[in-house]
Structure 1
Amino acid sequence: MPSPLTHDDPQEIGPYRPVARLGSGGMGTVYLARTAGGRTVALKTMHARIASDPACRTRFRLETDAARVVGERYGAGVVDADARAETPWLATEYVLGPPLDDAVALCGPLPERTVRALGAALCGALGQLHASDVVHRDLKPSNVLVTAYGPKVIDFGIARAAGDEHLTRVGAAVGTPAFMSPEQAGGQEHSAAGDVFALAGLLVFAATGHPPFGHGQAADLLYRVQYTDPDLTGVPEGLVPVLVPCLDKNPFRRPTTDWLAARLHDGAGEFADHLPDALLADIARRATEVWQVAPQRLPAPADVPGTAPTAAPARWTRRRLLLTGAGATAALTAAGAGAWAVTREAGGPKPQPAPGPSNSLLPRKQLDSIWQIQVRPDDLFADVMPQGQLHVVDNMVVTVATELTGVVAQTGHRQWSMSLMDSDWEVASDGRRLLGLGPSDDRRAGKAGGDPLLLASVNLLTGELADPTVSLNEFNGELVADQMVCTANGVAYVAAGRGKYVDTTFSAAQTWYLFAYDMDAGKLLWTKPLPARRPGSVRLYFLSGSVVGRHLVALQEADDGTVHAVVRDTRDGTVRWDRPLDGVKAGRVQQPLTADDHRLYVGAGRLRALRLGDGGVAWDTGTTRPGRTYGLPALKDGTLYAVEKGLGLVAFDPVSGRVKWEEKGGQGARADLNAAPVIGTEYAYSKRGSQLWAVGLSSGAPAHSYKTTGDRFIAHENAKAVIAQGGGFLAAFPLR
């Protein structure tokens, strides 16, 4: 089971962060670790004291190669590896199941049906290795993990060999004495037949609870393996004639794995059907508990001066406090996919692991959720904080309120959290990566009126900045109206200014631009001037923005308060068309846009579709359904959905605007127009009061509901969850 990290365990290994220790041996340490997207892996590293030994590095590389050969069907799938790193490491799938020795300790000797299914599956694993001229050399119960889908073979003998300070050569015994073959015990060549011998011994252990040659000192075991008969007491009668030929002292008389597999099992049924209930329950427990492991690090001993090195803090400075009116109210504003908080002092904070529920500020709500965690309440900023401050990035959800928090979507585990009252984090995501925007600490390079503007990737594992990072001295990163409009395909689309900072959002002394920067290529693609804004304007240039093909689609508020749909060419920033949207209020459309390859769909009043090519109206409910009011739309699988005031959900054909169906039952009259519906495969989810209702896509009728404090919702397809934020909580509900 996992144990806490020690004081000198590394904070990061490659792109992975250790969470707990799984074990340590002569060659290295194995950690439970997590990726930036929240995936849990087993991370094996080599001890620094032997990393300089070429032979040890070669063994490590061979182990990695062998793990790749056996593949994820029969082994722990290799996720990533770097055998050339200063500290070589190997990241594999974290297998959700106990080692075979733990399974036997829990259940006692396994039933014959289990042993047969286990043995046949292990024959498949060894057969795959042997076909590639690879032998395991250290097959034993602790190196076989039992999952509900079959056993997986791990640890290809390398760590044990290095730990015993032996090399694989004639005359040196390498492996574990209790499960060695006779030729291996005598220091002779260990071939595929030796793995067959070890497998038979392992199956004796699974069926009886004891090794075939007993226990004792290594020398005694090595003698018995070479010269005495195995102890088959307790082996089921039907297995004895199958295993005895495999335990022959002469490797040339042993059968192949194909012969053994055919006599063990016919392959019928699922592997889980052959496992005892107690073992299945243990597998389920482990699958649940691994997500609950929180990072813990033991303190350094009193005589050790200092602890493990920590990662460098994020290179962010803080912005000035944006004051509205007479300057008495602190405001947080944002637009589109970006979000920003505004203060400025010297220095910058380091994101910290978020506190658990026991540190919560509010009483835990009784919600019908898969999980719920508390985030800092954002009620103080409800009037000016835009909706849509939930970002789906890989397997994570990044939420923006008065804190920026990274959460594993499937489990609710908080990877990190940082207060936005102390630091400016404006972020945008394209679903694969998270980009951040703020002022750079490189004051000497600033020539646009203040510190340069900083663009950087955000490490989803830590919340800190990561490469690629770029400092742009032609823009003033201190201006509070600098804005990350959106990002797509590695390109950041940013509104930024030049000129001195003033205690308002905009000033006549400032000039403003929209630019596109390719983060991967490290290249500024284009820069276009933006029209002047009225000094003192609170909202930013862009209410929302998104990239659709070669179109940068945005909603913007003009100085007269009208909202415009504006489409630019992503290749050069040229405005293709600009269309005012009558009847749309700016404060209601600060959420992600809804568009497909051909049309932009706008709600928050009439529901209409605008052609991306020329801005023309494709259809408008002001004509087809006059007098009706709609909330923000959602699009999925060729159908457009929106909440109609007084009716509930309505499904439209996005091409023609024709109604496909209307919600039945009358309960949709209470549906919230401010929250866009979330669409699954069976249900559409719509907020009604303090409940999230699931409406059947085939029936058009409400099916069930969940209690929620949320007022903004987003689908996380990978986690099969509706993520809800609001009322000081973040929660997940089933997405079906």
Structure 2
Amino acid sequence: MESSLGHDDPSSLGEYRLIARLGSGGMGTVYLGRSPGGRTVALKTMHADFAADPEFRTRFRLEVDAARVIGGEYGAAVVDADPLAEVPWLATEYVLGPPLDEAVAVCGGLPEEAARVLGARLCEALSQLHNSGVVHRDLKPSNILIAATGPKLIDFGIARAAGDDRLTRTGTAAGTPAFMSPEQATGGEHGPAGDVFALAGVLVFALTGHGPFGTGQTADLLYRVRYGEADLTAVPPEMQPLLASCLSKVPDQRPGTTQLGSSLSETHGEFADFLPDAVHAEVLRRSEAVWEIEPSRLPLWEDDFTTVAPHSRERSVRRRRALVAGAGTLFAAGGVAAGWAWLGTDESGRPARSSSGSQPVGAAPKPHWKTAVSGAAEFQVFLAEDYLMMSSEAGLTSVAVKSGKQGVINREALDYSLPVADGKRIYGIDSSNAAVALIDAKTVQFRNQVTPGEDLDVKNPRLLTTHGGLIFYTGTAGKPNGEEVSLRLAIRTDTGEEQWRQEISTPESTAQVVAWKAGVLVLALENVETMWGVSTRTGKKIWSNSFPPNGEGEERVVAFSHGRGASHYYLGFQEIIAVGIIDGKVSWRFGKERSNPTRKERSMFYGVPIFHDGVVYAVEMGYGIVALDAESGTLLWELETDWAADASYLSIPAAGTGYVYFSVDKGRWFAAIDCEKRREAWVFSGSDEAGYTDLLAAPSAKKLIAVNGNTVLAFPLE
């Protein structure tokens, strides 16, 4: 399905204007584009680091050649290509139809006759490819598009001429484990018979909704492919012998594509006549939807922001809520298009100062809507596009960001461990089967299960974060000797396949993700004394750092926010500390020597910092707001307020186009700070009995969400 362009995606490739993303993988990204004449195309590119490698450039050129070989009858017709460009790209027709895996997910398994016709048409496509001396080598449901005119083979990224081992050498396996041939799984030669093996697996999936060798870890799948028997129990009896022969471990015992096609179906007629009504409806829906897609680009926060994670030795329930609320808050901070104006120095050369008492504070705007979540005193809030999802001991419920309309409460299948969100999708743990699954933010129902916990043999899963098509989590697993070990894992959100797993120490299993950037996750232990960077590709540690407390019982707040040009996360301790995400080195410190009487009263001095457009903002407890240059830590300006002594140092700030917002105290819920004029714009006052307020910005709806107790309010985001 299409999604908005990322902030750093190109605006065009060749003469084609990019409209949306269609998908992204380890090698490159596929976009939806339009020509100057209005033709809609799919454009595939390589990631920049692969484009710099001559071997991968050759592979891309061969992919273009293979796509031309298959042609428009059995594939997506090549419209244009430039494999020699700085960023190589390939433009093909945009096929109006879903991939087979999505069609089965939406419409269920195909009837036998439809599957037979599908298989026969795919045999024709493979015959054309094989007769040209090319093998596909990655035949799987997601690489087969179901159009009304017939199935289309796509993605020839690892296709090559039969017998050519220049790019994928013997001894290395390339492909998708669940649909590999045994010879491919051992790194051997995958010829045309290997494509027949994969096609049989695709047909099993089309009929039953699962592959012939199940799901699970890559090593387990490869073992079953090589030595296990295919599970054909759900396949129609008349098709079982034929598919079993295609799934023979011996390539010479498999039928050729011509023989297989004849055995599957000799029926002639329009392909569309054999498709179920539900598939027809999905094809028609996509055919109409593609013309309704308007160009859109995600703000910076969608791509680069992650959780703000307050840590404290006390108030653990509040910390749990703040952990989640922070994700949406700092997403919003990065989504602001307008730049912050900093005010530099006054005539004396000192940082500019202002006092909230020198100018009157205006009236707060009226809330756009207000709602309360019954049955829960506190809850966690997640933002997923147009909906807020609340999680508590009472269950899951959602609220429409624009209208405030509250949905039903899902009281079942909720494992009360924190879900994770990326601002667009939310994942949780379904307690009915310990599976990581996507949560529909509107209906708060679990769907699109990512992977069953038992298949990965991981117990007690705890989600860390989701980013870049991966879900990171921890758990335990048993060794052959009966010993239990702690693990940190990453799985793909699209297939559930395991990316990596690393054995970790028991204390590490309690760590939280506090930052990420450029392939590095930053994790911290509960007391924030120890932090380390972990590679998102391998799970291995890259660096470690420690920040020992300055006194017994010191409260700690750690926050990460990232915007264009920034590469640090920021700690709010007795001083504000900027730490490099890539190397873990401290770049600057601010505030330790500043004079303030509250330093004697509490050890923690600064609240959660927030970053935007080169400036870091934070509450200096007992004084007011400080604005720092993000690269050097230099004080740019400061604002004295009368509420700073009672501000919540655990609450998450938010940012709009011209204001930053900070939680104040129990009677005055939060304050809006005008960054250009260096003054309080207004303060919203609520019930004195309420606790501190968590703030979350929803820039697409232009709403500031305020969460206090079980009450949620929406204000204009300014």
Normalising by structure 2, we get a TM-score of 0.41
Normalising by structure 1, we get a TM-score of 0.40
Q: Of the two structures, which has the highest relative contact order with CA contacts closer than 8 Å and spacing of 6 or more?
A: 2
Q: Which has the larger radius of gyration?
A: 1
